[in-house]
């Protein structure tokens, strides 16, 4: 059963519902005006800023130089429902998240995330990996303008597939990560997509798993050096995926340790 506080029930949840409804109407208006998908997706970034302000949550990001402007898979440890707005705040591209199929049935919200292109995942792992592979292929084939990220007039957004490879949020108060699911790394190898690891710390203290209670605080995001499938030549596909999986886990875990050492004793 979800836990609520009086503040969340009377102020935060109604505020979130209002922001979702307004964003949904703005998206519909954008579609009527025949805006591009990237222009429509920019609503998600605007919504994120407003949501973080409403909940009094700050996001501090480091390692932005590692955020390559090319199609890639973003992998992050999963700490709370605030991970999604934190990534949207940090990554200024078109971040496509994996979302439980049940969320697409929610009034207003479900249609909005469908229009934005979020990825519907299922309880059946085989079906989920098929959907993720198809999305990775589309991302890989996305043609990016030459002036992307150079300050030109072109405002196209870099496409990213965002996955939380643990498959579920952690309940561990010490932010101990779980094992990563290997299917994602086979997909990265199949489509030759770089993996951008991100370590995140602070979300669990803001919104624990199983609760709609939002505490004021700061989420710390550390973008780590990308991993490239091409660097894993010379071994079998299975060995490549295991090696890539382990290297990604270690890189995120090390980054998480650095964040905890730097910010673990701070009052957020």
- Both tokens assigned to 25: 């109407």
Mapping DSSP to helix (H, G, I), strand (E, B) and coil, where does residue 111 land?
A: helix
pLDDT of residue 149 exceeding 50, the answer is no
* Residue-level pLDDT at 246: 95
Q: How confident is the model at residue 123 (pLDDT cuts 50, 70, 90)?
A: confident
Average pLDDT value for residue range 220-235: 92
pLDDT of residue 215 exceeding 80, the answer is yes
pLDDT of residue 193 exceeding 80, the answer is yes
Q: What percent of the chain has pLDDT over 90?
A: 47
Average pLDDT value for residue range 95-102: 83
* Residue-level pLDDT at 256: 96
Q: Give the class (CATH, top level) of 3-144+155-263.
A: alpha beta
Average pLDDT value for residue range 4-14: 70
Q: How confident is the model at residue 219 (pLDDT cuts 50, 70, 90)?
A: very high
Average pLDDT value for residue range 86-92: 91
Residue of 84, 109, 93, 165 whose CA lies nearest to 132? 165
Q: How confident is the model at residue 116 (pLDDT cuts 50, 70, 90)?
A: confident
Give 227's contacts (C-beta < 8 A, 6+ positions apart): 194, 195, 197, 244, 247, 248, 251
pLDDT of residue 238 exceeding 90, the answer is no
Greatest mean pLDDT among 149-153, 206-210, 260-264: 260-264
Cα separation, 187 vs 62, in Å, equals 27
Residue pLDDT, tens place only, 18-69: 999 999 999 999 999 998 888 889 999 999 999 999 999 999 999 999 999 8
Long-range CB pairs of 129-132, under 8 A, 24+ apart, other chains included? 129/183, 129/186, 129/187, 132/98, 132/161, 132/163, 132/183, 132/184, 132/187
- Both tokens assigned to 213: 């209670």
Average pLDDT value for residue range 163-176: 85
Q: What is the pTM of this model?
A: 0.87
Q: Looking at 99-175, list the stretches that DSSP marks H as alpha helix, in order from N- to C-terminal side.
A: 109-116, 125-141
Q: How confident is the model at residue 106 (pLDDT cuts 50, 70, 90)?
A: confident
Cα separation, 37 vs 53, in Å, equals 25
Cα separation, 69 vs 160, in Å, equals 10
Contact 20, 108 (CB under 8 A): yes
Q: What percent of the chain has pLDDT over 70?
A: 88
Contact 185, 244 (CB under 8 A): yes
Q: Domains of the chain: which residue ranges?
A: 3-144+155-263
* Residue-level pLDDT at 265: 63
* Residue-level pLDDT at 266: 56
């Amino acid at each position: 059963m979800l836990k609520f506080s009086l503040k969340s029930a009377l102020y935060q949840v109604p505020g979130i519902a209002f922001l979702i409804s307004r964003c949904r109407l703005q998206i519909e208006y954008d579609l009527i005006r025949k805006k591009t998908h990237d222009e429509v997706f920019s609503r998600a970034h605007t919504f994120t800023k407003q949501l973080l302000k409403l909940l009094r949550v700050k996001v501090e990001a480091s390692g932005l130089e590692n955020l390559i402007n090319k199609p890639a898979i973003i992998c992050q440890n999963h700490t709370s429902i605030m991970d999604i707005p934190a990534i949207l705040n940090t990554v200024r591209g078109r971040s496509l998240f994996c979302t439980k199929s049940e969320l697409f049935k929610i009034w207003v919200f479900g249609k909005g995330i469908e229009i934005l292109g979020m990825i519907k995942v299922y309880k059946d792992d085989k079906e989920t990996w098929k959907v993720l592979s198809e999305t990775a292929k589309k991302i890989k084939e996305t043609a990016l303008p030459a002036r992307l990220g150079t300050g030109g007039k072109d405002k196209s957004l870099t496409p990213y597939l965002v996955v939380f490879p643990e498959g579920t949020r952690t309940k561990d108060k010490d932010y101990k990560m779980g094992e990563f699911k290997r299917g994602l790394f086979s997909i990265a190898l199949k489509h030759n997509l770089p993996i951008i690891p991100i370590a995140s710390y602070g979300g669990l203290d803001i919104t624990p798993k199983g609760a709609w209670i939002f505490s004021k605080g700061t989420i710390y995001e550390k973008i780590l050096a990308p991993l490239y499938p091409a660097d894993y030549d010379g071994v079998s596909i299975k060995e490549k995926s295991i090696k890539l999986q382990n290297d990604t886990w270690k890189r995120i875990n090390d980054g998480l340790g650095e964040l905890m050492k730097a910010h673990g004793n701070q009052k957020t």
